[in-house]
Amino acid sequence: MAKIKKGDLVQVISGAKPERGGDRGKQGKVLEILVEQNRVIVEGVNYVTKHNRVGQSQRGTKTGGIETMEAPIHISNVALVDPETKKPTRVGHKVEEKTKDGVKRTVRVRYAKKSGKDL
């Protein structure tokens, strides 16, 4: 089971300090997870400028130019944010039995290790 999922609130825990133009300490929502490369794309973090070739669409409008977009960041450089304290925390899993429509199931649930609250 993954520790970080799409839609989670994460904080960058390594890299350059904000005074030096880095993203350490910034929080954002996970937009996408690239499993094969162990990377995540976080909203508002690791902005890069991308140059796209100028072309024309079907209607004749110009496309392309310079645009800024989020680049992937390694998954080890982000930590899940505890919803209670709004600080980065480690993630654990615990096995619970849940009943749905009269059927018992054992499921793994993520929880923040310091506070012990389910995520």
Q: Is the pTM of this model over 0.85?
A: no
The predicted-structure confidence for 50-102, as pLDDT tens digits, reads as follows 998 888 888 777 788 899 999 999 999 999 998 888 899 998 889 999 888 88
Q: Under the phi-then-psi rule, with left for phi > 0, alpha for psi from -120 to 50, and beta for the rest, what region is 7?
A: left
pLDDT of residue 50: 92
Tell me if 10 sits within 8 A of 28, measured CB to CB.
yes
State the Cα–Cα distance between residues 10 and 61, nearest whole angstrom: 38
pLDDT of residue 116: 65
pLDDT at 114 over 80: no
Tell me if 10 sits within 8 A of 112, measured CB to CB.
no
Q: What's the maximum distance between 2 C-alpha atoms anywhere in the chain?
A: 59
